[in-house]
Chains A and B, each alone.
Chain A
């Protein structure tokens, strides 16, 4: 498996310009709000989550990762009909987890990215499910089959998306 444990010195840390840092998450949020009305199948994807994972893994800093996740998740909550914080908490967990993982493992190749995205998609759904049921009292039905199918779809899209976003990386 292409995931390899690497020492901190061996791992490259990247940063992004301010327009990319702000523009890419906003574009992801915009497309997530806009495209499903035109292409209903697109609702299976979670572009803000993929962007969260990408930035978290590239920066490899848990603090930056969790704040990136929290910011993107909270904006996603603001656009939705439910109380603010459900996506915020879920993406905070993903941002923290992905950046912590990125700091320890080399996740630069496609196979590793695929597995990491699939795993974090399921983590995200599980946290969302727990918060929505436990705190907001929403009726949620957990479906493994749907979760895995959606996770695979997001992982495939994520690998392609990360390849595009790699172009914006700058070495720190």
Chain B
């Protein structure tokens, strides 16, 4: 007996070690859940052994690249600056349009007593490493429980949803990416409003599931978070549909390309606080297109923001848009009323009839368009300043051009956007 044990000693030890590990694995699987406390301590040891080096290396790398990019490699900066300025102007124009749409949506929500979920606070974090395995899609960030991060908090970037916090350590956290096979995000399709669940696959791809095969889903459609998972706020981009094919059991196989580049994440935002509040009409602190235009019109005296637009500018400064509105030869009187959603996305665009007079606010300067669709001409060049008179006498043409002086951006529209860091309360 002793000789048999001695002869197969290696094999017996091998099987014993395997058995112990399998036993430990079975215990973990049986208890389940990522918040298992049995393995927390040894995970902390491993993380504490690895992440300080990652953190130090990231710091050195950032320092070196900062010195190089900010002091030496400045080639093309002027051109880039010019391009970005143009982009900012274009985005301001878009913002004016979107803020009006958002205001209208908010008013409708208030009518229906909707409650909206807003992001109250975020913590910016840097990605310092990964799980070390291609089979598990997760990353480590340099913020942990000391910074207010907790389990199941959503993690986003400006591009879209990234994942959720799976484990929290004092100074680091493990984030499970949305393309991990064990993750799932409540999703809805932007156009068709169909709801489903986005899952990761073993290959690191995203699939939208639970969409019936008789529904029409086209490639290119945007997939947003639905908020149904109680983790991610509603309306964040998850990705874009790239491929649709019939699947099993009456459901479609919908492949989604993630909106955020999950393989090249560097900085992310952890949403540490969300608030649920009732929709507030009166633009919820945003300026309407009409207000912006009215402030710029020569016939309308400047008027400070009234109580009807509380918090329009939390800093107390005069709101600026960077846009100068110029009227055509037809003067516009000050007691007029225009609440139309000026849609300055193009060079001359007719406002949506639904937006006209949608929010008559007697306390703010208005331009009366007499319920006629107005024409708003938007141009970035000086040639657009002198526009021809309106087609009819009551429809003035308004030209918006970028202000020469840098201006503060408008408050963001109501569509969920990455909130500023906790230094700037949202």
Contacts and interface: CB of A to CB of B under 8 A. Distances in A.
Q: Do A and B come from one complex?
A: yes
Interface of A: 26, 29-30, 32-34, 36-37, 40, 43-44, 46, 48, 62-63, 66-67, 70, 74-76, 78-89, 92-93, 96, 100, 128, 131-132, 135-141
Given A81-B137, A81-B182, 19 more contacts: A34-B53, A34-B54, A34-B129, A37-B128, A40-B264, A46-B134, A62-B14, A74-B21, A78-B46, A79-B43, A79-B131, A80-B136, A81-B174, A83-B39, A84-B24, A85-B25, A86-B25, A92-B14, A140-B135
A140 B202 contact: yes
Contact of A131 (B25, B139, B174): B25
Interface of B: 9-10, 13-14, 17-18, 21-22, 24-26, 28-29, 34, 36, 39, 42-43, 45-47, 49-50, 53-54, 57, 127-140, 166-167, 174, 176, 180-182, 201-203, 263-265
Contacts of A32: 132-133
B166 A81 contact: yes
Contacts of B202: 138-141
A100 B137 CA distance: 33
A67 B10 CA distance: 11
A33 B21 contact: no
A37 B265 contact: yes
6 closest Cβ pairs, A-B complex: A78-B46, A85-B25, A83-B28, A33-B132, A80-B131, A33-B129
Contacts of A48: 132
Contacts of A89: 18, 21-22, 25
Q: Which of A26, A43, A78: most chain B CB closer than 10 A? A: A78
A66 B16 CA distance: 11
Contacts of B53: 30, 34
Contacts of B265: 37
Nearest to B53: A30
B135 A79 contact: no
A30 to B, nearest CB: 5
A137 B49 CA distance: 29
29 contacts: A33-B54, A34-B53, A34-B129, A34-B130, A36-B134, A37-B128, A37-B139, A37-B265, A43-B130, A62-B10, A63-B9, A63-B13, A75-B46, A78-B39, A79-B46, A79-B50, A80-B132, A81-B166, A81-B174, A83-B25, A83-B28, A84-B24, A85-B25, A89-B22, A96-B10, A132-B135, A137-B29, A138-B202, A140-B135
A82 B132 CA distance: 12
Nearest to A75: B46
A37 B21 contact: no
What is the predominant secondary structure among interface residues of chain B facing chain A?
mixed
Contacts of B131: 33, 79-81
Contacts of A46: 134
Contact of B136 (A26, A66, A81, A139): A81
B181 A78 contact: no
A128 B139 contact: no
B175 to A, nearest CB: 9
Contacts of B26: 135
Nearest to B23: A85
A83 B47 contact: no
Between B29, B127, B134, B264, the greatest number of chain A beta carbons within 10 A of the residue's beta carbon is seen for B134
A33 B17 contact: no
B50 A85 contact: no
B249 to A, nearest CB: 16
Contacts of B203: 141
Q: Which among A81, A84, A96 has the greatest number of chain B C-beta atoms within 10 A?
A: A81
Contacts of A80: 131-133, 136, 138
B48 to A, nearest CB: 10
Contacts of A79: 43, 46-47, 50, 131-132
Contacts of B130: 33-34, 36-37, 43
Contacts of A83: 25, 28-29, 36, 39
B49 A43 contact: no
Contacts of B25: 83-86, 89, 131, 135-136
Contacts of B137: 81
Contacts of B139: 37
